[in-house]
């Protein structure tokens, strides 16, 4: 296999977790081998895309044999670092933040929110969630990040505050941010940012629905 750290297209990178999920499902269903057509149909893409994506990692399968499900499940688990727990923090405990705090990431993947933050005068600061996740004031963010050695943050603050809070996170040592704000963040090149824009996704969905009418 090629070096798994080699550069791959962003579109391919976004599909890695889908491939991992499919191979986990196949494994649970006692499927030992799968071909590119089966994988493509399970994800909703074409088989040529599957083969092209896999080609970035060398020979993952054999012509006429397909792909070894257990082998590929373990390969993607290693690629996505799903063999060890990744601790994550959350900033902003509004409606979206609360929903994420109550989502049991660790039961589905090995990611775990271990602490949350909001304004110092927020009524929930100083308390814990039912699952025992502590909620701190934003003034403690640098201290707590250092104590927990967390490198990944979920950002669910209002758009007008997203850049300010992102700067604070980066200054405290955060290297990866999942932002639920549509505002583009201007951060150092060594900080990885992914955006989740629910409004944009819904508008895209509605556009394609209208096209089908």
Q: Which residues are annotated as a binding site for NAD(+)?
A: 92-97
The residue to which tokens 């601790």 are assigned: 87
Name the residue among 171, 208, 211 with its Cα closest to residue 191.
171
Length of the chain: 213
- Label the pairing between strands 33-34 and 67-68: antiparallel
- Nearest-angstrom CA–CA distance, 93 and 172: 19
- Nearest-angstrom CA–CA distance, 17 and 90: 21
The burial class, CB within 10 Å (0-12 / 13-18 / 19+), for 190 is exposed
**Residue-wise burial string across 72-98, b where 16 or more C-beta atoms lie within 10 A, e elsewhere:** bbbbbbebeebeeebebbbbbbeebbb
At 67 the three-state DSSP class reads strand
Which residues are annotated as part of the binding site? 92-97
- Nearest-angstrom CA–CA distance, 34 and 36: 7
């Amino acid at each position: 296999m090629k070096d798994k750290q080699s550069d791959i297209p962003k579109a391919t990178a976004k599909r890695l977790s889908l491939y991992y999920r499919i191979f986990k499902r196949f494994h649970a269903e006692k499927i030992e081998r799968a071909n590119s057509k089966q994988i493509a149909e399970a994800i909703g893409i074409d088989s040529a895309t599957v083969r092209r994506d896999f080609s970035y990692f060398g020979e993952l399968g054999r012509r006429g044999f397909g792909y070894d499900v257990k082998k590929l499940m373990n390969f993607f688990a290693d690629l996505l670092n799903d063999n060890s727990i990744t601790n994550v923090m959350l900033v902003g405990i509004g409606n979206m933040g609360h929903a994420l705090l109550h989502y049991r990431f660790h039961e589905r993947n090995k990611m775990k929110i271990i602490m949350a933050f909001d304004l110092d005068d927020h009524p929930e600061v100083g308390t814990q969630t039912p699952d025992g996740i502590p909620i701190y004031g934003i003034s403690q963010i640098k201290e707590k990040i250092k104590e927990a050695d967390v490198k990944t943050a979920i950002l669910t603050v209002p758009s007008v505050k997203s850049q300010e809070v992102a700067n604070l996170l980066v200054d405290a040592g955060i290297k990866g941010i999942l932002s639920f704000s549509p505002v583009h963040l201007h951060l150092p090149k060594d900080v990885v940012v992914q955006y989740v824009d629910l409004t944009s996704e819904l508008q895209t969905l509605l556009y394609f629905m209208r096209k089908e009418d």
